Structure 1
Amino acid sequence: LAHDLYGENYGQYMLELNASDERGIDTIRTKVKEFARSKTPSEIPFKIVLLDEADNMTADAQQALRRLMEMYTATTRFILIANYPSKIIEPIQSRCAVFRFTPLKKEDVVARLKWICEKEGCQYDEEALAVIYELSEGDMRRAINILQAAAALGKVTVDVVYKVVGLAKPHEVREMIKLALDGRFMEARNKLRELMINYGLSGIDVIKQIHREVFSSEFKVPEDVRVLIADYAGEVQFRLVEGADDEIQLNAFLAWLTLLGKKLKAAQK
């Protein structure tokens, strides 16, 4: 778009910032404001401010941006890219035309990853590319970043992929859940500590992986049990986001799973 509007000198009339790196109010008040108020030749219809990962901006920065959008609407167009639009304040959303892009299809992402591997001479396992897709959730940029990190360690395998993204292997998470449901609380707790230490996982990382595995076809439990676990996992995640202690909350979750398992066994007798 910028090339079409401005030609080879597009860099003079476009400001691109990654809001996850420059997310504070000072960036908006200095870089963005100075760019928006600068003069341009009469043949240039407007300038462009592109804010990538805008959902990472602080609330104060978003309020400052809203005021700039109001002041310089005649001379500047603002493009905000976000993974979570709900984190963008309503006054900004109401001033924008919202375009929602669906995640890319698995076959398209995997085909592109294969093409990259062949061009770069990387060895890979087919299953590893499928895992990269699942972890990227259809985001091509994230998929390529994971592939690049994995390829730096040699052949791209499932184990290497999980290592570079810092997540536990799914079967290990399922094993921990099963231990708790089987009433083996201390073994489940030891497995939890092992996962957190070996993979450097935070409490939120663990609860997200638990939630993912609960809905995996590999996790063999009745539907009503999935519902109960998913519901309680949501409560635990909320507490963790609010600042509760990771270990205490996750141990409490495993204890809850252990009690749930005992109730299920008692109901079957």
Structure 2
Amino acid sequence: MFGHQQKNVQPAVDERTQPWVEKYRPKTIDDVAAQEHTVSVLRKALSSTNLPHMLFYGPPGTGKTSTILALARQLFGPDNFKSRVLELNASDERGISIVREKVKNFARQTPRAQAVASDGKTYPCPPYKIIILDEADSMTQDAQGALRRIMETYARITRFCLVCNYVTRIIEPLASRCSKFRFKPLDMSSTSTRLAQIALSEQVQVTNEVISALVSTSAGDLRRSITYLQSASRLSSSTDPPAPITLRDIQEIAGVVPDEVMNNFASSLGADSIPSIFSKLEKQDFDTIRQQVKSIMREGYSAAQVLSQLHDLIVQHPVLTARQRSACALAFGDADHALCDGADEELWVLQVALRVNKAIS
């Protein structure tokens, strides 16, 4: 009846079923890619074990959450990580009640003395805890206001790390209490190198064309590109023998309209993607454009994706004048506003197509 209580032992994770995003998440801050300035500052803070309150901001998939988790593991070690680190996703738990109850209760607890990890390594284990608030820009104004006082009261034994995409949504009194770290979108070289390493480790055959497609479709979001690579790998291994991963596979997985479809669409508007120097952009008739729009929308592509790719074709067009591009940009802006308000997708793609055709002919 009064026997020894057994410790909760978590089952081992099968790496074969584990998402690659988690499997290849940085274990130390030195593994974080393409954020040299942030890593160098945190490395110095790690050596002194004197962390300030921190605010990590930047686009999704740039390593914000991975960086603070890796830093916390290096500070506390695997044995003390759970007792010293509280991670909350503020987009789910963003009300003032969560701040007053869960956050405040954890912040006020005095941490235990330094412990030695089971593998014999002693971690710095400074005399404070870390509370990580992911998606902090989703917190309500009242919750952020309540958090401000907690950060001041328990600063001696608790450090806060706010992680967000939009720093402007963090109230100024809260932001001023934190050291700000800006995470930049990953450059093509860093993303390509990381993807190639993962592909090699997982024994996935990929070409440079596929790597380039993963980089371009993810737009600097390494997490998204790794997810696309894993999905493509599963699609490839579903056949016997495994089929090679192609550019079209990546575009289908990413929901991107294939290049040939967009090029045909641009041609129907009179804007060939690679026009001849001697060719003249001609105005197309309404029925031709309407048929092209209907054909594309029946394939299930989103209007936002179609217009985004068409926008890139128009902006980078080698023949169009600045005035023509400006007229087209206005059409894209009107469509984006209308689609955000819930307008009909096909009608607005047709509207943009007709205005682009009129502007460039």
Give the TM-score, by structure 1 length: 0.79
Preserved contact between residue 177 and residue 257 of structure 1 (Cα < 8 Å): no
| Matched residue type, 1:230 | A
Larger proportion of helix: 1
Find the counterpart in structure 1 of residue 325 from structure 2.
226
Question: Cα deviation per residue 1:214-258 (whole Å; 9 max; x = unaligned)?
Answer: 2346x6533432232223312321222233332332222122123
What does the per-residue CA deviation read over 1:181-203, in whole Å, with 9 as the maximum and x for residues that have no partner?
432433333333333342441x3
Q: How many percent identity over aligned positions? A: 30
Q: 1:13 aligned to 2:84? A: yes
Q: 1:233 to 1:69 in 2, by over 3 A?
A: same
> 3-state DSSP class of the match of 2:220?
coil
Aligned to 1:116: 198
The residue number in structure 2 matching 1:198 is 299
Q: For each residue in 1:62-116, what CA deviation from the matched residue of structure 2 results, as whole angstroms up to 9, or x when unmatched? A: 5413422322332433323333334444444333322112222322221221222
Structure 2 unaligned residues grouped into runs of 5+ = 1-70, 114-125, 237-243, 271-282
Q: Name the CA shift for 1:173/1:95 in 2 (closer, same or farther; >3 Å).
A: farther
Three-state SS of the structure 1 residue aligned to 2:307 is helix
Distance 1:121 1:53 in 2: 34
Instruction: Report how far residue 132 of structure 1 moved.
Output: 0.9
Question: What TM-score does the superposition give when structure 2 sets the normalisation length?
Answer: 0.61
Matches for 1:30-41 after TM superposition, within 5 Å:
32-33=102-103, 35-41=105-111
1:211 aligns with 2:311: yes
Cα distance in 2 for partners of 1:92, 1:248 equals 44
Cα 1:143–1:256, aligned 2, differ >3 Å: closer, same or farther? same
Q: Per-residue deviation at 1:13?
A: 1.9
Paired position in structure 2 for 1:178 = 267
Q: Give 1:35 shift.
A: 5.0
Instruction: Give the distance between the partners of 1:87 and 1:210, measured in 2 at CA.
Output: 31
Please give the per-residue CA displacement for 1:136-155, whole angstroms capped at 9, x wherever unaligned. Answer: 22232222111111211113
> C-alpha displacement at 1:34, in angstroms?
5.2
Q: What is the CA–CA distance in structure 2 between the aligned matches of 1:33 and 1:161, rounded to whole Å?
A: 41
Which structure has more relative contact order (CA 8 Å, sep 6+)? It is 2
After TM superposition, the structure 1 stretch with the greater mean CA deviation from structure 2, 35-44 or 236-245, is: 35-44
Alignment counterpart, residue 147 of structure 1, candidates 220, 226, 229: 229
Runs of 4+ in 1 over 6 A off after TM superposition: none
Q: 1:156 pairs with 231, 236, 245, which one? A: 245
Deviates more, 1:225-234 or 1:177-186: 177-186
Partner of 1:70: 149
In terms of Rg, which structure is larger? 2
State whether residues 132 and 147 of structure 1, in contact with CA within 8 Å, keep that contact through their aligned partners in structure 2. yes
> Which 5+ residue runs of structure 1 have no aligned equivalent?
265-269
Mapped contact 2:111–2:129 kept (Cα < 8 A):
no
Aligned length: 256
**Do the aligned residues in 1 keep the contact of 2:289 with 2:354 (CA within 8 Å)?**
no
Q: Contact 1:32 / 1:49 at 8 angstroms: preserved in 2?
A: no
Counterpart of 1:135 (choices 188, 196, 217) is 217
CA drift of 1:51 comes to 3.0
- SS at 1:229 equivalent: helix
Matched AA of 1:235: D
